[in-house]
Amino acid sequence: MNFEPVLLADRMDAMKAAGLWRDETIDVHFQRALENCPDKPAVVAYRDGHPEPVRLSYRELDCRVDRIARGLAALGVGRGDVVSFQLPNRWEFVALALACARIGAAANPVMPIFRQHELTYMLNFAESKVFIVPSVFRKFDHAAMARELQSKAPHLRQVVVIDGDGDDSFDRVLMRDDTPPLAGPALGPDDVALLMYTSGTTGEPKGVMHTSNTLFSNLHAYIERMELGGGDVILGASPMAHLTGYGYLAMLPLILNSTTVLQETWNAARALEIVRETGVTFSMASAAFISDLCTAVEAGAPVSSQFTKFNCAGAPIPPIVIQRAWELMGLLVCSAWGMTECGAVTVTEPARALEKSGVSDGRPVPGIEVKIIDANGAKLSQGETGSLLIRGASLFAGYLKRPHLNSVDAEGWFDTGDLAFQDAEGYIRINGRNKDIVIRGGENIPVIEIENLLYQHPSITTVAVVGYPDRRLGERICAFVSLKPGCTLTFADLTAYLDRQQVAKQYYPERLEIVDDLPRTPAGKLQKFKLRETAKTFGDTANPAPEKS
């Protein structure tokens, strides 16, 4: 595939001259770690229902990466191809990401929550050649779904099933010992290494492209800001298929020559046991994870004195959560803000965490500039809220097949779609969105996609989806709906309809409000801000909802 990473050329010379793009690929970092500490644990992976974790040293991981890379090459995968994988936090995720880089392919991790509706679009848009899934995860048959998808994705040559027992099993397809040595080129530093979908406001997800240079420029800056080193042990509990998981929990340890500890599914009490067993020192996830850890400690879960730093991104952190984490665990919660398009843009350093994390989202990391402007494009003063623009080394290479959506001006400024203000010390605070999304537990929920589906329901005339506040998750999802004359709709009807559409359960509204009509301007434009104000009064209430993670 011709990725056309159009956002690289204009800044390539400047970034390399400044030393921000070091031309070091994913595999270069891995080989360096392999040389420096071959017998050090690279990955410790805990799986539900398994009494012991899988422990892989850098040497052992390299052997598995090589076999997987040769297996992919034997399937005809090479430079410029896309390999999609829908995996929970397992060692295979890390190995696949490294194997793709070794053969010049782009890794395309997708969230385990996605179902046929989302995946049909994603696999076709990326022209994925291989799709790797678990046999079953959280009682859902991913293997059956993936096999059905093959008929809907003409570019898809092979489905591979982890823990499968058929001809498409991971062991038979990718872990064979009879594949020839690698002969094709590995990934270059400016080749697309990662394709990751992000929720769009146009109703369809956008494919964000990153190179080794854009990714690792941010990881180096992040390591400096968070004061991380080779002695750190990193807990990977946040989903690996987010940039948080892929970048800061899977790739970052390669730079540090450190260890990643993976937890397959989130359970706060179990996480604290794992932290104590493995000597975890650091993690990164949304505020909901921290809140859960605090609750688990209050219920008697163990505390580890080595676990000292936690970086929270995805939504503002309630100050009470920061204080609880410090008092209960001695854990410094550092705020951050970022996007799939650019990684962590602003981060609060540990020394200022107790002071700043509750009132800001951090200050820009090295290699990134921020600017806040008004509606006319004029730069605003300190304390004034406006549109947040960013530019710099970690900015993505563009949206796959959609360069017209890149939102980058002639000077390299990217419009984030968020509203923010900056204080006298340069710390920013996100305090609104131009984007029409709900952020539930750090997960961007594509509002328009849900609305488009609900508009197809035979009883619905109009619909608007907004977020409402939740202490743990930040926001939950509410659907305001008006009905056709004589029609009725219950919450159970709504969820049954979305079930039939094979939509990810994380996208389901958790509250249904039937209204006569939706508020509009005289020109007929929907006034969502009024619905958001109404939704703020709901508190932590919901209709009986389907199980979500």
Write out pLDDT tens, residues 11-31.
999 999 999 999 999 999 999
Tokens coding 522 = 């005289």
**Exposed, middle or buried, 459 (CB in 10 Å: 0-12/13-18/19+)?**
middle
Cα–Cα distance for residue pair 549/539, rounded to 1 Å: 20
pLDDT number for residue 95: 99
Q: What is the DSSP letter of 518?
A: -
User: Angle between the 91-103 and 58-74 helix axes, to the nearest 10 degrees?
Assistant: 60
pLDDT number for residue 545: 46
pTM for the full predicted model: 0.86
pLDDT number for residue 540: 67
pLDDT number for residue 316: 78
Q: Which of 86, 151, 160 is nearest to 130 (CA)?
A: 160
What is the arrangement of strands in the sheet containing 414-422, beginning at the earlier edge strand?
Answer: 368-373, 386-392, 414-422, 428-433
Tens digit of pLDDT for each residue in 463-517? 899 999 998 898 999 999 999 889 999 999 999 999 999 988 888 999 999 999 8
pLDDT number for residue 520: 76
Q: Which residues, in sequence order, are CB contacts of 109 under 8 Å at separation 6+?
A: 84, 85, 86, 87, 93, 97, 196, 240, 241, 246
Q: Which of 314, 310, 318 is nearest to 358 (CA)?
A: 318
pLDDT number for residue 204: 77
Cβ–Cβ under 8 Å, residues 240 and 288:
no
pLDDT number for residue 291: 86
Q: Is 501 helix (H, G, I), strand (E, B) or coil?
A: coil
Tokens coding 240 = 């690996």
Can you list the residues of the chain whose pLDDT is less than 70?
A: 199-203, 521-525, 540-549
pLDDT number for residue 548: 47
pLDDT number for residue 411: 95
Spell out the domains of the chain, with CATH numbers in brackets. 28-37+57-188 (3.40.50.980), 438-535 (3.30.300.30)
